[in-house]
Structure 1
Amino acid sequence: MLDRLWQKLRGQTRTTQSPIAATRPEEAPLAAEPAPQITRDAYIQSPLPIAEELAQLFQLDAPLVIFDIGSCEGEDSIRYARSFPNSRIYAFEPLPANMATLKRQVAAYGATQVEAFPIALSDERGTATFYVSSGAPEHLPNNENWDYGNKSSSLLPPGEVTDHHPWLKFDQAIEVKTDTLANFCDARGIDHIDLIHMDVQGAELKVLLGAGALLQQVKAIWLEIENVPLYEGQPLAPEMQAFMESQGFVKHKDTVSEISGDHLYVRKDPAA
Protein backbone atom coordinates (compact mmCIF):
# COMPACT_ATOMS: atom_id res chain seq x y z
CA MET A 1 0.00 0.00 0.00
CA LEU A 2 2.88 2.37 0.72
CA ASP A 3 4.12 2.57 -2.87
CA ARG A 4 0.53 2.78 -4.11
CA LEU A 5 0.07 5.79 -1.83
CA TRP A 6 3.29 7.36 -3.01
CA GLN A 7 2.07 7.19 -6.60
CA LYS A 8 -1.26 8.70 -5.58
CA LEU A 9 0.33 11.50 -3.58
CA ARG A 10 2.85 12.28 -6.29
CA GLY A 11 0.31 12.04 -9.09
CA GLN A 12 2.34 9.40 -10.89
CA THR A 13 0.72 6.44 -12.65
CA ARG A 14 1.25 4.35 -15.76
CA THR A 15 -1.36 2.20 -17.46
CA THR A 16 -1.52 -0.23 -20.35
CA GLN A 17 -4.43 -0.47 -22.75
CA SER A 18 -7.35 -2.39 -21.27
CA PRO A 19 -10.04 -4.18 -23.27
CA ILE A 20 -12.45 -3.29 -20.46
CA ALA A 21 -11.94 0.46 -20.24
CA ALA A 22 -9.93 3.01 -22.16
CA THR A 23 -6.55 3.87 -20.73
CA ARG A 24 -6.39 7.17 -18.90
CA PRO A 25 -3.78 9.68 -20.12
CA GLU A 26 -0.46 9.42 -18.38
CA GLU A 27 -0.37 11.76 -15.42
CA ALA A 28 2.31 14.22 -14.41
CA PRO A 29 5.80 12.92 -13.56
CA LEU A 30 7.22 12.79 -10.07
CA ALA A 31 6.83 16.18 -8.42
CA ALA A 32 9.86 17.96 -7.07
CA GLU A 33 8.07 19.39 -4.04
CA PRO A 34 7.18 17.23 -1.00
CA ALA A 35 3.96 15.24 -1.23
CA PRO A 36 0.97 16.66 0.62
CA GLN A 37 -0.31 15.21 3.88
CA ILE A 38 -3.09 12.73 3.27
CA THR A 39 -6.05 12.11 5.58
CA ARG A 40 -8.06 8.96 6.01
CA ASP A 41 -11.32 10.61 4.99
CA ALA A 42 -9.78 12.12 1.87
CA TYR A 43 -8.50 8.70 0.85
CA ILE A 44 -11.87 7.04 1.49
CA GLN A 45 -13.71 9.72 -0.48
CA SER A 46 -11.34 9.47 -3.46
CA PRO A 47 -12.35 7.34 -6.49
CA LEU A 48 -11.21 3.76 -6.71
CA PRO A 49 -8.29 3.52 -9.15
CA ILE A 50 -10.11 0.76 -11.04
CA ALA A 51 -13.60 2.29 -10.82
CA GLU A 52 -14.07 2.33 -14.60
CA GLU A 53 -13.01 -1.28 -15.00
CA LEU A 54 -15.21 -2.46 -12.13
CA ALA A 55 -18.20 -0.62 -13.57
CA GLN A 56 -17.75 -2.63 -16.76
CA LEU A 57 -17.37 -5.92 -14.92
CA PHE A 58 -20.07 -5.64 -12.26
CA GLN A 59 -23.46 -4.07 -11.70
CA LEU A 60 -23.18 -1.50 -8.92
CA ASP A 61 -26.13 -3.04 -7.06
CA ALA A 62 -24.94 -6.62 -7.46
CA PRO A 63 -24.47 -8.76 -4.31
CA LEU A 64 -20.73 -9.11 -4.85
CA VAL A 65 -18.34 -11.14 -2.73
CA ILE A 66 -15.22 -9.02 -2.19
CA PHE A 67 -12.07 -10.00 -0.30
CA ASP A 68 -9.81 -7.20 0.98
CA ILE A 69 -6.63 -9.06 1.88
CA GLY A 70 -4.11 -7.00 3.81
CA SER A 71 -6.80 -4.50 4.74
CA CYS A 72 -4.57 -2.42 7.03
CA GLU A 73 -6.94 0.14 8.60
CA GLY A 74 -9.90 -0.75 6.41
CA GLU A 75 -10.01 2.26 4.10
CA ASP A 76 -10.30 0.20 0.92
CA SER A 77 -12.98 -2.04 2.43
CA ILE A 78 -15.00 1.07 3.16
CA ARG A 79 -14.47 2.37 -0.37
CA TYR A 80 -15.76 -0.90 -1.84
CA ALA A 81 -18.72 -0.83 0.55
CA ARG A 82 -19.60 2.65 -0.68
CA SER A 83 -19.19 1.68 -4.34
CA PHE A 84 -21.09 -1.62 -4.10
CA PRO A 85 -23.72 -1.21 -1.37
CA ASN A 86 -25.11 -4.75 -1.68
CA SER A 87 -21.73 -6.44 -1.52
CA ARG A 88 -20.34 -8.68 1.21
CA ILE A 89 -16.77 -7.68 2.08
CA TYR A 90 -14.33 -9.86 3.98
CA ALA A 91 -11.39 -7.85 5.37
CA PHE A 92 -8.21 -9.58 6.57
CA GLU A 93 -5.65 -7.82 8.78
CA PRO A 94 -3.34 -9.63 11.22
CA LEU A 95 -1.80 -6.60 12.97
CA PRO A 96 -3.79 -5.97 16.18
CA ALA A 97 -3.40 -2.18 16.19
CA ASN A 98 -4.53 -1.95 12.58
CA MET A 99 -7.48 -4.24 13.26
CA ALA A 100 -8.64 -2.01 16.11
CA THR A 101 -8.57 1.03 13.81
CA LEU A 102 -10.25 -0.93 11.03
CA LYS A 103 -13.19 -1.83 13.26
CA ARG A 104 -13.56 1.76 14.47
CA GLN A 105 -13.52 3.13 10.93
CA VAL A 106 -15.97 0.56 9.59
CA ALA A 107 -18.37 1.51 12.37
CA ALA A 108 -17.82 5.25 11.89
CA TYR A 109 -18.63 5.04 8.18
CA GLY A 110 -21.53 2.66 8.66
CA ALA A 111 -19.97 0.04 6.38
CA THR A 112 -22.12 -2.81 7.68
CA GLN A 113 -21.18 -5.00 4.70
CA VAL A 114 -17.62 -5.37 6.03
CA GLU A 115 -16.66 -8.27 8.29
CA ALA A 116 -13.11 -8.22 9.66
CA PHE A 117 -10.86 -11.18 10.44
CA PRO A 118 -7.59 -10.86 12.44
CA ILE A 119 -5.63 -13.37 10.40
CA ALA A 120 -3.04 -13.42 7.63
CA LEU A 121 -4.01 -15.38 4.55
CA SER A 122 -1.13 -17.46 3.24
CA ASP A 123 -0.33 -20.84 1.69
CA GLU A 124 -0.50 -22.68 5.02
CA ARG A 125 -2.72 -22.82 8.07
CA GLY A 126 -1.15 -22.26 11.47
CA THR A 127 1.04 -19.41 12.69
CA ALA A 128 3.80 -17.37 11.11
CA THR A 129 6.21 -14.56 11.89
CA PHE A 130 4.88 -11.17 10.85
CA TYR A 131 7.41 -8.36 10.36
CA VAL A 132 5.88 -5.13 11.66
CA SER A 133 6.68 -1.80 9.98
CA SER A 134 6.66 1.65 11.54
CA GLY A 135 8.00 5.17 11.02
CA ALA A 136 7.10 8.25 8.99
CA PRO A 137 8.73 10.53 6.41
CA GLU A 138 10.27 13.66 7.91
CA HIS A 139 7.84 15.98 6.11
CA LEU A 140 4.78 13.73 6.65
CA PRO A 141 4.44 12.93 10.35
CA ASN A 142 1.93 10.35 11.51
CA ASN A 143 -1.20 11.60 13.23
CA GLU A 144 -4.66 10.37 14.22
CA ASN A 145 -5.80 10.69 10.60
CA TRP A 146 -3.04 8.73 8.90
CA ASP A 147 -0.14 6.41 9.76
CA TYR A 148 2.45 6.05 7.02
CA GLY A 149 4.55 3.49 8.85
CA ASN A 150 1.97 0.77 9.48
CA LYS A 151 1.34 -0.06 5.81
CA SER A 152 4.42 -2.12 4.98
CA SER A 153 4.23 -5.05 7.41
CA SER A 154 4.68 -8.47 5.81
CA LEU A 155 4.95 -12.22 6.26
CA LEU A 156 8.29 -11.83 4.46
CA PRO A 157 11.41 -10.24 5.99
CA PRO A 158 12.19 -6.77 4.63
CA GLY A 159 14.55 -6.64 1.67
CA GLU A 160 15.20 -3.49 -0.36
CA VAL A 161 12.13 -1.69 0.99
CA THR A 162 14.23 0.35 3.45
CA ASP A 163 16.60 1.33 0.64
CA HIS A 164 13.72 3.00 -1.16
CA HIS A 165 12.03 4.28 2.02
CA PRO A 166 14.87 4.85 4.53
CA TRP A 167 12.48 6.16 7.17
CA LEU A 168 10.72 2.81 7.41
CA LYS A 169 11.60 0.67 10.44
CA PHE A 170 11.11 -3.02 11.15
CA ASP A 171 11.87 -3.16 14.85
CA GLN A 172 9.27 -5.75 15.81
CA ALA A 173 8.18 -9.22 14.73
CA ILE A 174 5.08 -10.95 16.09
CA GLU A 175 3.41 -14.31 15.65
CA VAL A 176 0.11 -14.20 13.77
CA LYS A 177 -2.53 -16.75 12.88
CA THR A 178 -2.58 -17.84 9.24
CA ASP A 179 -5.21 -19.52 7.11
CA THR A 180 -5.64 -20.33 3.43
CA LEU A 181 -8.27 -18.91 1.13
CA ALA A 182 -9.42 -22.43 0.32
CA ASN A 183 -9.95 -23.39 3.95
CA PHE A 184 -11.50 -20.07 4.96
CA CYS A 185 -14.05 -20.21 2.14
CA ASP A 186 -14.81 -23.90 2.56
CA ALA A 187 -15.56 -23.38 6.26
CA ARG A 188 -18.06 -20.62 5.40
CA GLY A 189 -19.65 -22.08 2.31
CA ILE A 190 -18.19 -19.44 -0.01
CA ASP A 191 -18.00 -20.96 -3.49
CA HIS A 192 -16.82 -17.95 -5.49
CA ILE A 193 -15.19 -14.53 -5.11
CA ASP A 194 -16.04 -11.67 -7.44
CA LEU A 195 -13.12 -9.41 -6.56
CA ILE A 196 -9.92 -9.78 -4.57
CA HIS A 197 -8.11 -6.61 -3.51
CA MET A 198 -4.72 -7.74 -2.25
CA ASP A 199 -1.93 -5.71 -0.66
CA VAL A 200 0.25 -8.07 1.36
CA GLN A 201 3.74 -6.72 0.75
CA GLY A 202 5.33 -9.45 -1.32
CA ALA A 203 3.27 -12.38 -0.04
CA GLU A 204 0.70 -12.23 -2.87
CA LEU A 205 1.75 -15.54 -4.42
CA LYS A 206 1.48 -17.27 -1.04
CA VAL A 207 -2.13 -16.13 -0.79
CA LEU A 208 -2.96 -17.21 -4.32
CA LEU A 209 -1.38 -20.64 -3.85
CA GLY A 210 -3.48 -21.03 -0.72
CA ALA A 211 -6.63 -20.60 -2.80
CA GLY A 212 -6.16 -23.94 -4.55
CA ALA A 213 -8.99 -24.82 -6.92
CA LEU A 214 -11.05 -21.89 -5.62
CA LEU A 215 -8.83 -19.58 -7.69
CA GLN A 216 -10.77 -20.76 -10.74
CA GLN A 217 -13.90 -19.24 -9.20
CA VAL A 218 -12.39 -15.75 -8.82
CA LYS A 219 -13.44 -13.18 -11.42
CA ALA A 220 -10.99 -10.31 -10.85
CA ILE A 221 -7.88 -9.59 -8.76
CA TRP A 222 -6.30 -6.17 -8.08
CA LEU A 223 -2.95 -6.74 -6.42
CA GLU A 224 0.29 -5.00 -5.63
CA ILE A 225 3.26 -5.96 -7.80
CA GLU A 226 6.97 -5.17 -7.47
CA ASN A 227 9.79 -4.87 -9.97
CA VAL A 228 12.43 -5.00 -7.23
CA PRO A 229 12.63 -7.33 -4.21
CA LEU A 230 11.29 -5.06 -1.49
CA TYR A 231 10.90 -8.19 0.65
CA GLU A 232 13.11 -11.25 0.83
CA GLY A 233 12.06 -14.06 -1.48
CA GLN A 234 9.11 -12.27 -3.03
CA PRO A 235 8.18 -13.01 -6.66
CA LEU A 236 8.55 -10.05 -9.00
CA ALA A 237 6.31 -8.79 -11.80
CA PRO A 238 7.27 -11.30 -14.55
CA GLU A 239 6.76 -14.30 -12.25
CA MET A 240 3.46 -12.98 -10.95
CA GLN A 241 2.16 -12.28 -14.45
CA ALA A 242 3.20 -15.74 -15.65
CA PHE A 243 1.39 -17.34 -12.70
CA MET A 244 -1.78 -15.33 -13.24
CA GLU A 245 -1.86 -16.14 -16.94
CA SER A 246 -1.33 -19.82 -16.17
CA GLN A 247 -4.46 -19.64 -14.03
CA GLY A 248 -6.62 -18.22 -16.79
CA PHE A 249 -6.37 -14.50 -16.03
CA VAL A 250 -5.66 -11.63 -18.41
CA LYS A 251 -3.93 -8.42 -17.32
CA HIS A 252 -6.22 -5.44 -17.89
CA LYS A 253 -4.39 -2.66 -16.07
CA ASP A 254 -0.77 -2.04 -15.12
CA THR A 255 0.38 0.84 -12.89
CA VAL A 256 3.76 -0.65 -12.01
CA SER A 257 6.63 1.86 -12.02
CA GLU A 258 10.33 1.04 -11.84
CA ILE A 259 9.74 -0.13 -8.28
CA SER A 260 6.15 -0.98 -7.51
CA GLY A 261 2.50 -0.60 -8.51
CA ASP A 262 -0.55 -2.71 -9.20
CA HIS A 263 -1.97 -5.12 -11.76
CA LEU A 264 -5.64 -5.79 -12.45
CA TYR A 265 -6.27 -9.33 -13.67
CA VAL A 266 -9.63 -10.54 -14.97
CA ARG A 267 -10.59 -14.11 -15.73
CA LYS A 268 -10.74 -14.70 -19.48
CA ASP A 269 -14.44 -15.47 -19.26
CA PRO A 270 -15.63 -13.41 -16.26
CA ALA A 271 -19.20 -14.53 -16.85
CA ALA A 272 -18.27 -18.16 -16.28
Structure 2
Amino acid sequence: MADTSRAKPRNPIAKLARSLAKRLRRAREGGDERRFLNQARGIVHVGANSGQEAPSYARLGVPVFWIEPLPDVFAVLQERISSHPLQTAVRALVSDSDGAEVDFHVAGESSSMFAFAEHKKLWPEIDASGVVRLTTSRLDTLMQAHGLSSPPYDALVIDTQGAELLVLQGAGDRLAGFERIVAEAADFEAYRGATNVDELTAFLAGHGFRLQHKASMASLKGVGTYYNLYFRRSH
Protein backbone atom coordinates (compact mmCIF):
# COMPACT_ATOMS: atom_id res chain seq x y z
CA MET A 1 0.00 0.00 0.00
CA ALA A 2 1.28 3.43 -0.89
CA ASP A 3 1.77 6.13 1.69
CA THR A 4 -0.70 8.88 0.80
CA SER A 5 -0.13 11.02 3.88
CA ARG A 6 1.51 13.92 1.99
CA ALA A 7 3.13 14.82 -1.31
CA LYS A 8 6.89 14.52 -1.58
CA PRO A 9 8.64 17.91 -1.58
CA ARG A 10 10.53 18.89 -4.73
CA ASN A 11 13.14 20.94 -2.89
CA PRO A 12 16.16 18.60 -2.31
CA ILE A 13 16.88 20.11 1.12
CA ALA A 14 13.27 19.65 2.17
CA LYS A 15 13.38 16.12 0.79
CA LEU A 16 16.50 15.34 2.85
CA ALA A 17 14.86 16.81 5.97
CA ARG A 18 11.80 14.67 5.40
CA SER A 19 13.96 11.56 4.99
CA LEU A 20 15.84 12.29 8.22
CA ALA A 21 12.58 12.93 10.07
CA LYS A 22 11.25 9.58 8.82
CA ARG A 23 14.40 7.79 10.04
CA LEU A 24 14.13 9.44 13.45
CA ARG A 25 10.48 8.44 13.70
CA ARG A 26 11.33 4.87 12.84
CA ALA A 27 14.08 4.87 15.45
CA ARG A 28 11.61 6.04 18.09
CA GLU A 29 9.10 3.40 16.97
CA GLY A 30 11.67 0.64 17.18
CA GLY A 31 12.49 0.22 13.52
CA ASP A 32 10.90 -1.61 10.65
CA GLU A 33 9.41 -5.08 10.57
CA ARG A 34 12.66 -6.91 9.79
CA ARG A 35 14.45 -5.24 12.69
CA PHE A 36 11.55 -6.01 15.03
CA LEU A 37 11.72 -9.68 14.03
CA ASN A 38 15.49 -10.11 14.14
CA GLN A 39 15.30 -12.03 17.44
CA ALA A 40 12.58 -14.38 16.19
CA ARG A 41 13.31 -18.09 16.02
CA GLY A 42 10.59 -18.77 13.45
CA ILE A 43 7.84 -16.80 11.69
CA VAL A 44 4.26 -17.61 10.78
CA HIS A 45 3.04 -15.13 8.15
CA VAL A 46 -0.73 -15.10 7.58
CA GLY A 47 -1.85 -13.28 4.45
CA ALA A 48 1.32 -13.94 2.50
CA ASN A 49 0.26 -12.48 -0.84
CA SER A 50 3.20 -13.27 -3.17
CA GLY A 51 5.78 -13.35 -0.38
CA GLN A 52 7.39 -9.98 -0.96
CA GLU A 53 9.20 -10.24 2.38
CA ALA A 54 10.83 -13.58 1.53
CA PRO A 55 14.35 -12.19 0.89
CA SER A 56 14.29 -10.18 4.13
CA TYR A 57 13.12 -13.22 6.08
CA ALA A 58 15.83 -15.33 4.44
CA ARG A 59 18.47 -12.95 5.78
CA LEU A 60 17.19 -13.67 9.28
CA GLY A 61 18.04 -17.34 8.78
CA VAL A 62 14.87 -18.66 10.47
CA PRO A 63 12.07 -20.99 9.31
CA VAL A 64 9.04 -19.25 7.82
CA PHE A 65 5.55 -20.69 7.34
CA TRP A 66 3.50 -18.71 4.82
CA ILE A 67 -0.31 -18.89 4.50
CA GLU A 68 -2.12 -17.50 1.44
CA PRO A 69 -5.69 -18.27 0.27
CA LEU A 70 -5.82 -17.35 -3.44
CA PRO A 71 -4.63 -20.11 -5.85
CA ASP A 72 -2.98 -17.89 -8.48
CA VAL A 73 -1.23 -15.74 -5.87
CA PHE A 74 -0.17 -18.89 -4.00
CA ALA A 75 1.53 -20.16 -7.16
CA VAL A 76 3.63 -16.99 -7.34
CA LEU A 77 4.43 -17.33 -3.63
CA GLN A 78 5.66 -20.89 -4.10
CA GLU A 79 7.91 -19.82 -6.95
CA ARG A 80 9.34 -16.94 -4.92
CA ILE A 81 10.22 -19.01 -1.88
CA SER A 82 11.54 -21.97 -3.87
CA SER A 83 15.12 -20.69 -3.47
CA HIS A 84 14.73 -20.34 0.31
CA PRO A 85 14.92 -23.84 1.85
CA LEU A 86 13.73 -22.71 5.29
CA GLN A 87 10.48 -21.30 3.91
CA THR A 88 7.31 -23.30 3.25
CA ALA A 89 3.75 -22.33 2.34
CA VAL A 90 0.20 -23.64 2.55
CA ARG A 91 -2.90 -22.42 0.76
CA ALA A 92 -5.62 -21.59 3.28
CA LEU A 93 -7.90 -18.78 4.44
CA VAL A 94 -7.35 -18.23 8.17
CA SER A 95 -10.26 -17.17 10.36
CA ASP A 96 -11.80 -18.03 13.74
CA SER A 97 -13.47 -21.28 12.63
CA ASP A 98 -12.84 -24.35 10.50
CA GLY A 99 -14.98 -25.15 7.49
CA ALA A 100 -16.98 -21.95 7.09
CA GLU A 101 -17.64 -20.84 3.51
CA VAL A 102 -17.15 -17.10 3.01
CA ASP A 103 -17.04 -14.56 0.20
CA PHE A 104 -13.49 -13.36 -0.37
CA HIS A 105 -13.10 -10.02 -2.15
CA VAL A 106 -10.20 -10.04 -4.62
CA ALA A 107 -8.32 -6.73 -4.90
CA GLY A 108 -4.60 -7.46 -5.28
CA GLU A 109 -2.70 -6.75 -2.07
CA SER A 110 -5.94 -5.36 -0.60
CA SER A 111 -7.88 -8.64 -0.97
CA SER A 112 -10.01 -9.36 2.08
CA MET A 113 -12.83 -11.31 3.65
CA PHE A 114 -14.49 -7.90 4.01
CA ALA A 115 -15.81 -5.51 1.37
CA PHE A 116 -14.32 -2.04 1.01
CA ALA A 117 -15.68 0.74 3.19
CA GLU A 118 -13.49 3.88 3.47
CA HIS A 119 -10.48 2.08 2.03
CA LYS A 120 -11.27 3.73 -1.31
CA LYS A 121 -10.75 7.18 0.18
CA LEU A 122 -7.09 6.41 0.88
CA TRP A 123 -6.48 4.26 -2.21
CA PRO A 124 -8.99 5.32 -4.89
CA GLU A 125 -6.97 3.54 -7.56
CA ILE A 126 -7.61 0.10 -6.02
CA ASP A 127 -10.74 -1.75 -7.13
CA ALA A 128 -12.07 -5.18 -6.23
CA SER A 129 -11.92 -7.40 -9.30
CA GLY A 130 -14.36 -10.03 -8.07
CA VAL A 131 -15.50 -12.32 -5.29
CA VAL A 132 -14.53 -15.97 -4.79
CA ARG A 133 -15.96 -18.49 -2.37
CA LEU A 134 -13.37 -19.90 0.05
CA THR A 135 -13.42 -22.20 3.07
CA THR A 136 -11.85 -21.07 6.34
CA SER A 137 -9.34 -22.76 8.65
CA ARG A 138 -8.26 -21.89 12.17
CA LEU A 139 -4.60 -21.07 12.72
CA ASP A 140 -4.21 -23.62 15.52
CA THR A 141 -5.67 -26.30 13.23
CA LEU A 142 -3.18 -25.47 10.47
CA MET A 143 -0.22 -25.36 12.85
CA GLN A 144 -1.14 -28.75 14.29
CA ALA A 145 -1.69 -30.27 10.84
CA HIS A 146 1.73 -29.11 9.64
CA GLY A 147 3.62 -29.94 12.82
CA LEU A 148 4.47 -26.36 13.77
CA SER A 149 5.37 -25.73 17.37
CA SER A 150 6.22 -22.53 19.18
CA PRO A 151 9.07 -22.31 19.72
CA PRO A 152 10.67 -22.26 17.23
CA TYR A 153 7.74 -20.42 15.59
CA ASP A 154 7.52 -17.55 18.07
CA ALA A 155 6.66 -14.62 15.77
CA LEU A 156 3.34 -14.03 14.03
CA VAL A 157 2.82 -11.61 11.14
CA ILE A 158 -0.78 -10.92 10.08
CA ASP A 159 -1.62 -9.04 6.88
CA THR A 160 -5.24 -9.99 6.25
CA GLN A 161 -6.87 -6.63 5.50
CA GLY A 162 -9.28 -6.38 8.41
CA ALA A 163 -9.46 -10.03 9.48
CA GLU A 164 -6.56 -9.79 11.96
CA LEU A 165 -8.76 -10.26 15.03
CA LEU A 166 -10.38 -13.36 13.50
CA VAL A 167 -6.92 -14.81 12.87
CA LEU A 168 -5.91 -14.22 16.48
CA GLN A 169 -9.15 -15.73 17.79
CA GLY A 170 -8.47 -18.77 15.63
CA ALA A 171 -5.02 -19.23 17.15
CA GLY A 172 -6.53 -20.59 20.37
CA ASP A 173 -3.94 -21.84 22.83
CA ARG A 174 -1.22 -21.45 20.19
CA LEU A 175 -1.29 -17.71 20.82
CA ALA A 176 0.54 -18.31 24.09
CA GLY A 177 3.59 -19.56 22.17
CA PHE A 178 4.20 -16.31 20.30
CA GLU A 179 6.50 -13.59 21.63
CA ARG A 180 6.12 -11.01 18.84
CA ILE A 181 3.14 -10.09 16.68
CA VAL A 182 3.03 -7.70 13.73
CA ALA A 183 -0.40 -6.75 12.41
CA GLU A 184 -2.02 -4.11 10.23
CA ALA A 185 -5.08 -2.17 11.37
CA ALA A 186 -6.78 1.17 10.82
CA ASP A 187 -8.34 3.62 13.26
CA PHE A 188 -11.32 3.99 10.89
CA GLU A 189 -13.58 1.55 9.03
CA ALA A 190 -11.40 0.69 6.05
CA TYR A 191 -13.40 -2.51 5.40
CA ARG A 192 -17.00 -3.16 6.39
CA GLY A 193 -17.07 -4.98 9.72
CA ALA A 194 -13.29 -5.24 9.97
CA THR A 195 -11.33 -4.93 13.20
CA ASN A 196 -9.60 -1.69 14.19
CA VAL A 197 -6.55 -0.60 16.18
CA ASP A 198 -8.37 -0.33 19.52
CA GLU A 199 -10.08 -3.74 19.24
CA LEU A 200 -6.85 -5.45 18.25
CA THR A 201 -4.85 -3.80 21.02
CA ALA A 202 -7.46 -4.64 23.66
CA PHE A 203 -7.66 -8.29 22.60
CA LEU A 204 -3.91 -8.77 22.67
CA ALA A 205 -3.57 -6.92 25.99
CA GLY A 206 -5.93 -9.51 27.43
CA HIS A 207 -3.52 -12.21 26.25
CA GLY A 208 -0.37 -10.66 27.67
CA PHE A 209 0.84 -8.54 24.75
CA ARG A 210 1.80 -4.89 24.90
CA LEU A 211 1.69 -2.54 21.91
CA GLN A 212 5.34 -1.59 21.61
CA HIS A 213 4.91 0.89 18.79
CA LYS A 214 2.80 1.69 15.74
CA ALA A 215 3.99 3.01 12.39
CA SER A 216 1.74 4.99 10.07
CA MET A 217 1.40 3.44 6.61
CA ALA A 218 -1.06 5.95 5.15
CA SER A 219 -3.15 8.78 6.48
CA LEU A 220 -5.83 11.12 5.19
CA LYS A 221 -7.30 14.06 7.06
CA GLY A 222 -10.95 13.52 7.87
CA VAL A 223 -10.68 9.75 7.34
CA GLY A 224 -7.94 8.30 9.55
CA THR A 225 -4.69 6.36 9.57
CA TYR A 226 -3.64 2.84 8.60
CA TYR A 227 -0.91 1.42 10.84
CA ASN A 228 1.59 -1.37 11.20
CA LEU A 229 1.30 -2.45 14.84
CA TYR A 230 4.13 -4.13 16.75
CA PHE A 231 3.27 -6.16 19.86
CA ARG A 232 5.59 -7.85 22.36
CA ARG A 233 4.63 -10.30 25.06
CA SER A 234 4.92 -8.78 28.55
CA HIS A 235 7.10 -10.75 30.95
Name the residue aligned to 1:186.
144
**Structure 2: segments with no counterpart, 5+ residues:** 9-14
What secondary structure, in the 3-state scheme, does the structure 2 residue paired with 1:224 have?
strand
Instruction: Please report how far the alpha carbon of residue 265 of structure 1 lies from its aligned counterpart in structure 2 after TM superposition.
Output: 0.5
Task: Pick closer, same or farther for the CA change 1:186–1:105 going to 2, 3 Å.
Answer: closer
Deviation for aligned residue 1:163: 2.2
Contact 2:50 2:77 in 1 (8 A): yes
Paired residue for 2:113? 155
Q: Distance in 2 between matches of 1:113 and 1:54?
A: 16
Q: Partner residue of 2:105? A: 131
Structure 2 residue 48 is matched with structure 1 residue 71 = yes
**Residues 104-183 of structure 1 aligned to structure 2 (within 5 Å):** 104-107=79-82, 110-126=83-99, 127-133=101-107, 150-183=108-141
Say what the alpha-carbon RMSD is for the aligned residues. Answer: 2.6
C-alpha distance in 2 between matches for 1:67 and 1:260: 22
1:77 and 1:91 in contact (8 A); partners too: no
Cα distance per residue 1:85-120 (max 9 Å; x no partner): 2x221111111221121122222xx11211111111
Check whether the contact 1:68–1:92 (CA below 8 A) recurs between aligned residues.
yes
Q: How far did 1:249 drift?
A: 0.3
Shift of 1:6: 5.9
Normalised by the size of structure 2, how large is the TM-score?
A: 0.81
Q: Distance in 1 between matches of 2:145 and 2:78?
A: 23
Specify the alignment match of 1:50 in structure 2.
Answer: 33
Secondary structure of the residue aligned to 1:259 is strand
Please report how far the alpha carbon of residue 53 of structure 1 lies from its aligned counterpart in structure 2 after TM superposition: 3.2
Contact between 1:159 and 1:231, CA under 8 Å: does it hold in 2? yes
Aligned mates of 1:242, 1:24 — CA distance in 2 = 29
1:233 to 2:193 alignment: yes
Structure 1 residue 52, shift from structure 2 partner: 3.4
What is the deviation of 1:165? 1.4
Aligned with 2:157 (options 164, 176, 197): 197
Q: CA deviation at 1:202?
A: 0.3
Q: Could you give the per-residue CA deviations for residues 166-224 of structure 1, whole angstroms, max 9, x where no partner exists?
A: 12111300012321111112223323131111110000000000011111111110111
Structure 2 counterparts to residues 213-228 of structure 1, below 5 A: 213-228=173-188
1:239 deviates by 1.3
SS at match of 1:215: helix
For residues 96 and 114 of structure 1, the distance between their equivalents in structure 2, rounded to whole angstroms, comes to 18
User: Does the CA-based 8 Å contact 2:34-2:56 persist in structure 1?
Assistant: no
The reply to whether residue 25 of structure 1 matches residue 2 of structure 2 is no
5+ unaligned residues in a row in structure 1: which ranges?
16-22, 28-47, 59-63, 134-149
CA contact (8 A) 1:71 1:77 kept: no
Distance 2:204 2:97 in 1: 20
Correspondence for 1:100 among 75, 81, 84: 75
Q: Which amino acid aligns with 2:176?
A: Q
Give the 3-state SS of the residue equivalent to 1:155 in structure 2. Answer: coil
Which of 229, 232, 235 aligns to 1:263? It is: 229
Identity %: 25
Which letter does structure 1 place at the counterpart of 2:137? D
Taking the TM superposition and a 5 Å limit, the aligned residue runs for 1:239-250 are 239-250=199-210
Q: In structure 2, the residue corresponding to 1:255 is in which secondary structure?
A: strand
Matched length = 212
